[in-house]
Amino acid sequence: MVRCLLYVMGVVLLLGIQNSSVQAQSQNTTHNHAQCGVDLTEGQAIKNRMLDNRRNRVELLEKFERGRGNDSTVYVPIQFHIVNKSDGTGGESNQDILDNLCRLNADYAGINVEFYLAGPTRVINQDLLYTNSFDNGMANYFMGLYRVPGVVNIFVGNQISNSQSGGTTLGYYTSGLDIIYAIQASVRGTGTTLTHELGHFFGLPHTFFGWENSQYGDVMANTTGRTPTITLAGTPVEYIAREGGLENCQIAADAFCDTDANYLFGFFGGTYNNGCDYAATAMDPRGWLFRPDVINSTPSRYKILEGESSLDEMWLKNNSSKDRIYPKTLIVVETEYTVGGTTTMMWQDTIGDSDSTDIYCNTNSDDNIIGTGVLDVAKGFINLNNHRLEVSVAAPSASSLTFEAAPAEYSITPASGNYRTDMDSLRVTNTSTTVTVAAGTDVIATDIFYNGNIQVSSGDRTYPLPNALAPGESYTFAPIDLRVDATTLAGATFGVNTYAPYRDTTGTTSENVMSYYSDACATQFSVQQGDAMKMDIASRGFATLYSTPSDITITDTAVVLHPVDNSIAPQPLVHFAWNPVNGATMYQISIYEINAIGAPLLGGQQFDVMVTGTDYWQTLNSGSRFEWVVTPLNATTFCDGSVASDKAKFLVFNWNVGVDNIEAEIESSKIYPNPSGARQDVLLEIESTVVGDAQVTIFNGIGQEVMPTQAISLVPGNNVQKLTTSTLTAGLYVVNVKTANGMTSHKLVIKE
């Protein structure tokens, strides 16, 4: 069971970087794109381990379920190592790590896995690990020294430097040491870098395995054909098909069939993928489009010529605003007609296969793909299958008229449903020697739709004569007068369907954690990936070797003992103490310098540590104000901030210097005798300018209050108050005088 808060996703790119035997994530913030170079040897090792586990699928999944026992969860121990500079500064905060661990558990809840703290975070002060260089191997040396056997080890440092990378590397997994290294920026907030790297830890390759250093766009820029069947790295390219014997997803790329084919789609740095939807036109070696909807379902326009049984023009629409449709892309074309509510397909075939010429359709544009060029479909290929349109011209009321007509051209625009008919000319001649044909006589052009020699349907176009024709006289209609726009043609409607032959891609590539899309997109593992991780967890013994950690849910709130709120820490070496909390096995202490109004001081001292006891010592800046809070934790309870103590503010005193912070209403104050003898009371003298109240508190050398707070009333002028110190043992003390506007403190020495 996961006792964690579900966090909203951040926007950190999960990207890769090349190095011998590492899987890495990288982002180039300068150029807004990532530089990928994941080493194929390491990736293949991860994949081989996953395939080996798959051979024992039934046994390992049963072992995983047995490890869960009566619980719903398999618990996996995780040890974090915070890497500082050698001087002890610069390390990541425990709070950032705990927040990311909460996100990590939310991501893995779907496979019934919960990570628990194997112990408090460990701190390493080492420059050569703080800045992790792949090139000299020192980082691996130190991680090998510090790694804890039998648990998941995650080192969090400042930077991963790599001479082969053009981006910022966020993290990597190395199977040689079986550890994860991540930089601080990748574990702040709720990014998925650790989710991604733990996927590698448990045997998941990238979804695009094999395409490292071979971006899809680079491959297609050097070819006029389809995606090659083998990548430049020598691995098989994954087909889009997922069934029917046409697929190779069981072995290609990541070897999962419930993750879509991925040719490094998340790695174009905003060129193609500036969102969560793949925006380009990748196709597999068969010419099947990954994103079929880039082909518009119908052409923008097409043209049929009178007497011909094929299309003269067809304007294919490429819906992608990012990429062209490449040659050899498979596109199914169907021609059909509808008469009386019944639709009949005339012809169907596929462009881009071996029996046709090819196309090239520009980005977000309409292109006439029928022509005579190398990248055109030959005229006559897209046809009506023995169907044709003919025109018959007559004038029923004037038998003496004869006609000479140019062939008709029919342009159809599906979006508007417009059928436009054009003829270059229509010449009408009155052959009578005696009769004049009157103006307004109708000349009727009948468009007839045939299937072979069988008439399917027909429709008329009517053109009135604009003037009378005397015997032997002729009139020629101009093209503009012959143009007709209608909603049918020859009594029928016509359609052309264009689509990819495989239309069932799910489009989940961007949603998969093992892709290179951003955190805003990457939200899930697939079912098969989940099973693969379960098998790896079982094969490593995580499901059976470790007992369930303490399942006590912490409900009690921590209480600070010293320094308490509005108190004095008597010396720069401050002793922090708090009560033991039921169920807590460790505590997180956060200490930070504050300004006069109580807000965290920018650039001030701050500490965020984990300890197993109920006290902690830390040297702080003398004369400065601080605030601190302690939160009880155990192996499985680290997301609930409600059990934290109240925040306590305090002032750091310096025995050697003292504190002289006299507020405006107190002109002066002093204690005497000082030093004082044992079993002797002292006097506190205050010169006040106002009427008011003050509280006097005495603290010992570790900040504990040793005398009850005494309330005194001040009047203008000299005020003398006896302080009962006769019961105090010899030592150093701080006498704190607090008014409404601030504090004045004095060092008191009591001798034997």
Give per-residue pLDDT as tens, 572-598. Answer: 989 999 999 999 999 999 999 999 899
In terms of domains, do 391 and 298 share one?
A: yes
Output the pLDDT for position 342. Answer: 98
Classify residue 279: in a domain, yes or no: no
Q: Which residues contact 656 (CB under 8 A, 6 or more apart)?
A: none
Q: Are residues 673 and 573 in the same domain?
A: no
pLDDT at 21: 38
- Are 596 and 738 within one domain? no
> Do 566 and 444 share a structural domain?
no
CATH (domain of 633): 2.60.40.10
- Whether residue 10 is contained in a domain is answered as no
* Amino acid (one-letter) located at 261: A
What integer is the mean pLDDT of 609-627? 94
pLDDT at 568: 86
The pLDDT of residue 164: 52
Instruction: Identify the residue with better confidence: 58 or 10.
Output: 58
* Residue 709 maps to a domain: yes
pLDDT: is 677 or 336 the higher one? 336
Confidence category of residue 14, pLDDT binned at 50, 70, 90: very low
User: What does the pLDDT read at residue 142?
Assistant: 93
Q: Please give the Cα distance from 209 to 205 (Å, whole number).
A: 6
Position 656 confidence tier, pLDDT thresholds 50, 70, 90:
low
Whether residues 306 and 425 share a domain: the answer is yes
691 and 632 both lie in a single domain: no
Distance CA 316, CA 300 (A): 6
Q: For residues 197 and 183, is the Cβ–Cβ distance under 8 A?
A: no
Residue 280: predicted pLDDT = 85
Number of domains into which the chain is organized = 4
Residue 13 has pLDDT above 60, yes or no: no
Q: Judge whether 180 and 155 are in contact, CB under 8 Å.
A: yes
CA dist., res. 733 & res. 662, Å (int): 19
- 265 in a structural domain: no
Q: Give the residue-averaged pLDDT of 654-663.
A: 56
- The CATH code of the domain that includes 198 is 3.40.390
Assess whether pLDDT exceeds 90 at residue 556: yes
Mean pLDDT of the chain: 87
- Whether 404 is in a domain gets the answer yes
pLDDT tens per residue, range 422-441: 999 999 999 999 999 999 99
Span 105-129, pLDDT tens digits: 999 999 999 999 999 999 999 999 9
pLDDT at residue 83 is higher than 90: yes
Q: Which two structure tokens, joined as six digits, stand for 551? A: 């399942």
What are the phi and psi torsion angles at 217 (to 5°)? -60, -35
Say if residue 478 is in the same domain as residue 596: no
- Per cent of the chain over pLDDT 90 is 59
What local confidence, expressed as pLDDT, does residue 162 receive? Answer: 67
pLDDT digits (tens, 9 = 90+) for 223-238: 778 899 998 888 999 9
Residues 378 and 481 in one domain: yes
Q: Residue 680's domain is classified under what CATH number?
A: 2.60.40.2550
Kindly state whether residues 648 and 684 are assigned to the same domain.
no
* In-domain check, residue 433: yes
Question: How much is the pLDDT for 28?
Answer: 38
Residues whose CB falls within 8 Å of the CB of residue 707, separated by 6 or more in sequence, listed in order: 697, 698, 723, 724, 725, 728
Regarding whether 317 and 352 lie in a shared domain, the answer is yes
Considering the chain, what percentage of its residues have pLDDT values greater than 70? 90
Phi, psi of 450 (to 5 degrees): -115, 145
pLDDT band at 654 (very low <50, low <70, confident <90, very high): confident
Structure pTM?
A: 0.81
Q: Which of the listed residues 503, 518, 541 is the one where a domain comes to its end?
A: 503
Cα–Cα dist 14/196, whole Å:
7
Among residues 464, 482, 503, which one ends one of the domains?
503
* Boundary-marking domain end, from 591, 620, 652: 652
Q: Which domain holds residue 715?
A: 666-751
**221-224 LR contacts (CB < 8 Å, sep 24+):** 224/326, 224/327, 224/328
Residues in Cβ contact with 554 at an 8 Å cutoff, skipping those fewer than 6 apart: 581, 582, 583, 584, 632, 633, 634, 637, 640, 643
Residue 233 lies in a domain: no
Tell me, yes or no, whether 67 and 200 share the same domain. Answer: yes
Residue 226 lies in a domain: no
Determine which of 404-408, 476-480, 539-543 has the lowest per-residue pLDDT on average: 539-543
Res. 736 pLDDT band, cuts 50 70 90: confident
Q: With 60 as the cut, is the pLDDT of residue 718 above it?
A: yes
Based on the fold, state whether residues 680 and 634 are members of the same structural domain: no
Distance CA(540)–CA(72), nearest Å, equals 19
